[in-house]
Structure 1
Amino acid sequence: MVEFAYTAIDTQGTVIRGTLEAESEGAVLTILRRRGHIPMRIGAPTHFAPTRLMCGLTLRRPDLRRAELAAITRELAVMLGAGQDIDRALRFLAETSVRLRVRRVMEGVRTMVRDGRALHAAMGHYPGSFPRLYLGMVRAAEATGDLAPTMERLALLLERERALTSTVQSAMIYPAILTLAAIGSITLLLTTVLPQFTPLFTQNGVALPASTRMLIQAGNWLSRDGLAIPPILLVLTLLGRALIHRAPLRLRVDRWLLALPIAGPLIGEILAARFARLLGTLLENGVPILTALAIIREATTNRAAIAAIDAATQNAKAGYGLATTLEAAKVFPARMVHLLRLGEETAQLGPMALRAANIHEDQGRIAIQRLVALLVPAITIIMGLLVAGIVSSLLLAMLSLNDLAQ
């Protein structure tokens, strides 16, 4: 008998984890199904953390990036749709990939599939590469025999998520560069330009204005202790993240972020687009609503959204509609809630969720453009005001020197 670790969804739609002793993974699969559970992943038990070097670094096998996962999913969808069997499709991916980690993962999955394991079970041995949502949809597709259409839906899901993430990251590049340029310019003025005038003021005994004295002290401090700022910021960031990740505080922070004037609507649109896309994709793939909500909960990081999903799950078990609970939570935009209610009333929840996802992805892009349009001039104005303040302080000191000369 061998001990296996498993992740499954129970009859109440809750994600459960545990270990079982059995002769093979197939036996574990049979036991879980007899209990009414939906297996998500079966593999070797993880009693120990990943191997660590003496310096504290963690040795981990390389995982697929989301862009790589989207690419191989699209290729699998194309090949399976063209009538290729899964073994030939996996071999093609393993042989043609230019990245070593993709080849290793595909070769490992193909080897386990050739040994008789199900595709989702083989992929489950690489949890860092294939998320639970992915494994759950592949498992459902293998049960119904609709693997090719499911891969097409997964590819579309991953590509849409990647496009939305890339839009956010690309939009933030210019404001980030502008902010760094502003910080660099002000630091240069305080540590290089301003000290050139300091001897002139001190040698002539000029009574410097308070603003000029403050700037000189700031420049001296930056020149002397400025290198300590990055480590201090790093420590404060790590401490802040550790505090924020505590459940009660994290929930308050996430709710506060959603209530912000400009960034809040953007976060809400992104949350709505992701929730609706996941819900629609899972329902269209034949996943029950409770199981779909459990999978979405695992893929969600915003604590306010998780609380709303938990409430929706409990009410769904009692027979209440999804839209009513989400509306009461006041986390997701009213547009998405209205479309989900319409889908429930017409028995078209999956298609309506996908339509809602398309709408909120477009609204998210508009919100990003609006945020960038506000950030760039705001940063420019703040930088101009700071530089003007430094220059005016120098001019005041020069005028004091001129008065002394007269």
Structure 2
Amino acid sequence: MRVPLFAYRARDAVGKELQGEMEAADRNEVATRLAEQGLFVISVQEAKLKKTTGLFGKPSSSHVVAFMRQLATMVRAGIPIMTALEMILQRAPSQPMRRLIESIRDTLASGEPLSAAIEKNSDVFPPLVRWSVKVGEETGQLDAVLMRLAAYKELESNLKASVRGALAYPAVIVLVAIGVASFIVTVVIPKIKRIYDEAHIPLPLPTRIVLFVSDFVKEWWPFLIAGAVGVVLAIAIFKRTKSGSRFFDRLFLRLPIIGKFVYLAALLRFTRSMELMVRTGVDVVQALNIAAGTIGNSVLEEGVRKASLAVRDGAKISEAVEDAAVFEPLLVQMLRVGEETGTVDELLDLLATDYENQISRMVQNLPRIIEPILLVFVAGLVFLLALSFFLPIFRLVQVLKKH
């Protein structure tokens, strides 16, 4: 039996309407979780489940998040973990998810803790999850840890979905423009060329340029595709090397607009993962190493790992992060204040929330940034095609008038 998917509409504290989808046992669970986020529920309706499996037979990230949240809810309600797993297994949304739950259940049945079961499925659960669950078991806060992990993963998933949604419209426009241009170049203009050839009239320069490009692509397209594939493979192989990864990660940080987004996303991952682990009691050195693995940028990751070595040698977190020179001064200052007041986790939470808001605003403004660039591209393409299409017609009309 599949986990139901619900589409919801809600309003936040300032009255802004939000829409989204959420997997839950029923409508009441959706309403409760939205209320916990400080949202006022307008409507909740069952939606069609879009995806059941991940790539290469792994569970999809949305199903793993739903699993953690369901398990946390049941553990908090006092249901034994084995019973909770059996209940969730009955509603497993896909075969990969069923295999994952069965693996965890069998490990627990053999007498090992949940953290060991999570460790055995390290291809699904990253180090952040594995260490947090282990500490949650030791401190008796497993339900709270699972809830925070699920919220963190949901945030990541929603962020990716927002970016994809913002880029979908420009991508469609570009594809349509290229499709129309290809039709005109390969079908319409060659017919005009035949008329000119029969009349022994030279084609205008813009039309000759377009036809040259068209003929070149049609004649050499296998080699062009092979060359493009070769370049992509070479870049992919180079990016897998340490020097290649550093090159591209440094490049992305320096790109306009994209660089700021990549940097803010890295700050968000670092602060949110550090907040989660500090709050659950993970050792600071280990927390820094785990947080480094969540950043997603090798340049910044290297700086955080250097900071973890400095903390291991006795330095304060704020001093180590400042010496690493990879994060903004505000983060360093907040860490320093948190160390002095004993509220590192709370200030990291505030910072993470601020980064979330900044990224949300960037995603909302992304279409406004892309639209002018898109307009210039489409206008240039239309202008070139108009010249190559209409100039021959005008010249042909002039020749016919003379005769």
Partner of 1:292: 287
CA drift of 1:307 comes to: 1.6
Cα distance between partner residues in 2 of 1:169 and 1:313: 34
Alpha-carbon contact 1:269-1:333 (below 8 Å) kept: no
Cα distance between partner residues in 2 of 1:234 and 1:287: 45
Alpha-carbon contact 1:207-1:400 (below 8 Å) kept: no
CA drift of 1:232 comes to: 3.9
Cα distance between partner residues in 1 of 2:317 and 2:111: 39
Out of 295, 301, 308, the position equivalent to 2:296 is: 301
**One-letter amino acid of the counterpart of residue 132, structure 1:** P
RMSD (Å), alpha carbons: 2.2
CA drift of 1:106 comes to: 0.8
Matched positions, count: 347
CA drift of 1:199 comes to: 0.8
**One-letter amino acid of the counterpart of residue 129, structure 2:** Y
> What TM-score comes out, normalization by structure 2 length?
0.80
Alpha-carbon contact 1:64-1:128 (below 8 Å) kept: no
Partner of 2:307: 312
Partner of 2:171: 176
Q: Please say which of residues 108-117 and 295-304 is displaced more in the overlay.
A: 295-304
1:93-242 correspondence to structure 2 within 5 Å? 93-226=88-221, 229-242=224-237
Decide whether aligned partners of structure 1 residues 206 and 321 sit closer, same or farther in structure 2, where only a CA change above 3 A counts: farther
Partner of 2:12: none
Cα distance between partner residues in 2 of 1:216 and 1:280: 60
Cα distance between partner residues in 2 of 1:327 and 1:204: 75
> What TM-score comes out, normalization by structure 1 length?
0.79
Please list the CA deviations of residues 291-332 of structure 1 after superposition, one character each: whole Å capped at 9, or x if unmatched. 011112233331111121122112222333334444455543
CA drift of 1:136 comes to: 0.9
**One-letter amino acid of the counterpart of residue 384, structure 2:** G
- Unaligned regions of 5+ residues in structure 1, if any? 1-59
Partner of 1:355: 350
CA drift of 1:73 comes to: 0.5
Out of 259, 263, 267, the position equivalent to 1:264 is: 259
- Unaligned regions of 5+ residues in structure 2, if any? 1-54
Partner of 2:7: none
Decide whether aligned partners of structure 1 residues 61 and 106 sit closer, same or farther in structure 2, where only a CA change above 3 A counts: farther
Out of 275, 298, 301, the position equivalent to 2:270 is: 275
Cα distance between partner residues in 2 of 1:381 and 1:69: 43
Decide whether aligned partners of structure 1 residues 181 and 356 sit closer, same or farther in structure 2, where only a CA change above 3 A counts: same
Alpha-carbon contact 1:276-1:354 (below 8 Å) kept: yes
Cα distance between partner residues in 2 of 1:189 and 1:324: 62
Taking CA–CA contacts closer than 8 Å with sequence separation of 6 or more, which of the two structures ends up with the larger relative contact order?
A: 1
Decide whether aligned partners of structure 1 residues 98 and 252 sit closer, same or farther in structure 2, where only a CA change above 3 A counts: closer
Cα distance between partner residues in 2 of 1:325 and 1:294: 13
**One-letter amino acid of the counterpart of residue 146, structure 1:** Q
Cα distance between partner residues in 2 of 1:187 and 1:331: 46
